[in-house]
C-alpha cells in the first residue's frame, strides 16, 4: 500500500463515505501526497474542518483532527495556532462552509496572515445538505433551491482572499491533480496564510442537475475550462471566454500573526521584569 495511504489515512474508515467519483477524494489525495513528499510527521500536523462533504475528511485522515461548527474551522484553527505555533495547521473546507457560512472568518484570517494552510474544495454546491446553491454556484446553474437556475453571481475566492491579504493564493482542479499537489506543497511550506482553491466535481448534487451526468463529464469540463495563468497571458479574449485561471496568484512575504503576537508578548514580559 502506498505510504501516503497507509501512513495518513484511517484504513478502518475505508471505503469512505463520499459518493462515487466525488472530487473531494481526489483533492484529499493531493493533500496527503503533498504531505508525504514534505515528510511531515503525523503528530506535527493538525487538520481542522467545519461541516460539509469536504469536512468529512477528518473522519478518514489520520492526523490530530478536530471537526468544528459550520464555517468556523478557521476560528478554531486560529486559536490552536496561537497556542501551538510550532504545529502545522491545515483547514479543509468547502465552498458552502468556507465562502458562505464562514466567509467572514476567511477574510479576517487572510487579513491577519496567520500561518494556516486552507484548502477550499469548491464543488459549487452544498452537497451534504441536499444540493442547495452556494456563493460559488455559477449563475444560471440548477440547484435544489434554484429550480430555474441561480440568479446571483458567484465569488472569485482567490481574488477575495488576495484582496483580504493572504500571502499565498493558488487554484487547481481535481482533473489537474498533479499540479494541485504541487500547489498544496508550496502552500504548506509557506509561512503565513496560504489558500488553495481546488475545483472539484459533485456528480450527485451538482452534475446530475446540470447536464454533466457522470464524474468523467465533470472532469472533462474542468479540463476544457481551466487555463493556466501563463497560457492565459498569451490568449486572446475569445480564447479566454468562459475559462477560469489555475496556478499561483500570490506568493509574497509579510509579518505572520502568531510571530508578531509572541514577539509582543515577549517584549511585554521583559518590560514587567525590568519594572520589578
Partner 1 sequence: MGKYTIKVQPKWCKSCGVCVAFCPKQVLVLDDAGKASVQNLEACIGCRLCEIRCSDFAIEVGGENGE
User: Residue numbers of the site for partner 1 (CB under 8 A)?
Assistant: 1-2, 5, 9, 14-16, 18-26, 29-30, 33, 174-175, 177-178, 181, 203, 214-216, 219
For helices 73-83 and 257-275, angle between their N-to-C axes, nearest 10 degrees: 40
End-to-end CA distance of the chain: 60
- For the chain, how many helices (H) and strands (E)? 12, 8
| Distance of closest approach, residue 23 Cβ to partner 1, in angstroms | 7
Task: Classify residue 237 as exposed, middle or buried by CB count within 10 Å of its CB (0-12, 13-18, 19+).
Answer: exposed
Select 8 or 193, whichever has its Cβ closest to partner 1: 8
| Distance of closest approach, residue 177 Cβ to partner 1, in angstroms | 5
Select 178 or 269, whichever has its Cβ closest to partner 1: 178
Question: By three-state DSSP, how is residue 46 classified?
Answer: strand
Select 139 or 213, whichever has its Cβ closest to partner 1: 213
| Distance of closest approach, residue 203 Cβ to partner 1, in angstroms | 8
| Distance of closest approach, residue 72 Cβ to partner 1, in angstroms | 27
Select 20 or 39, whichever has its Cβ closest to partner 1: 20
Per-residue cell: 151: 440568479
Per-residue cell: 32: 496527503
| Distance of closest approach, residue 210 Cβ to partner 1, in angstroms | 17
Nearest to 105, CA basis, from 175, 66, 161? 161
Cα–Cα dist 93/55, whole Å = 6
Select 35 or 161, whichever has its Cβ closest to partner 1: 35
Amino acid at each position: 500500500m502506498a505510504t501516503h495511504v497507509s501512513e495518513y489515512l484511517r484504513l478502518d474508515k475505508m471505503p469512505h463515505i463520499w459518493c462515487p467519483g466525488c472530487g473531494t477524494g481526489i483533492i484529499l489525495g493531493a493533500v496527503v501526497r503533498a504531505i508525504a513528499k514534505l515528510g511531515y510527521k503525523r503528530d506535527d500536523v493538525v487538520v481542522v474542518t467545519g461541516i460539509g462533504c469536504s469536512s468529512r475528511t477528518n473522519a478518514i485522515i489520520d492526523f490530530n483532527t478536530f471537526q468544528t461548527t459550520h464555517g468556523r474551522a478557521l476560528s478554531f484553527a486560529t486559536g490552536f495556532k496561537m497556542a501551538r505555533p510550532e504545529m502545522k495547521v491545515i483547514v479543509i473546507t468547502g465552498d458552502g462552509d468556507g465562502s458562505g457560512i464562514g466567509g467572514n472568518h476567511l477574510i479576517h484570517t487572510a487579513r491577519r496572515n496567520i500561518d494556516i494552510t486552507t484548502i477550499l474544495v469548491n464543488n459549487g454546491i452544498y452537497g451534504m445538505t441536499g444540493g442547495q446553491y452556494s456563493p460559488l454556484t455559477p449563475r444560471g446553474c440548477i440547484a435544489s433551491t434554484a429550480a430555474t437556475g441561480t440568479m446571483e453571481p458567484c465569488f472569485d475566492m482567490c481574488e477575495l482572499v488576495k484582496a483580504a491579504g493572504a500571502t499565498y493564493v493558488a487554484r487547481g482542479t481535481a482533473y489537474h491533480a498533479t499540479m494541485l499537489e504541487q500547489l498544496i506543497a508550496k502552500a504548506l511550506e509557506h509561512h503565513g496564510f496560504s489558500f488553495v482553491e481546488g475545483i472539484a466535481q459533485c456528480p450527485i448534487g451538482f452534475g446530475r442537475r446540470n447536464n454533466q451526468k457522470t464524474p468523467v463529464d465533470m472532469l472533462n469540463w474542468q479540463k476544457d475550462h481551466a487555463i493556466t495563468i501563463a497560457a492565459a497571458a498569451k490568449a486572446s479574449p475569445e480564447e479566454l471566454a468562459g475559462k477560469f485561471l489555475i496556478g499561483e496568484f500570490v506568493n509574497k512575504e509579510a509579518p505572520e500573526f502568531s510571530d508578531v503576537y509572541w514577539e509582543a508578548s515577549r517584549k511585554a514580559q521583559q518590560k514587567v521584569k525590568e519594572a520589578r
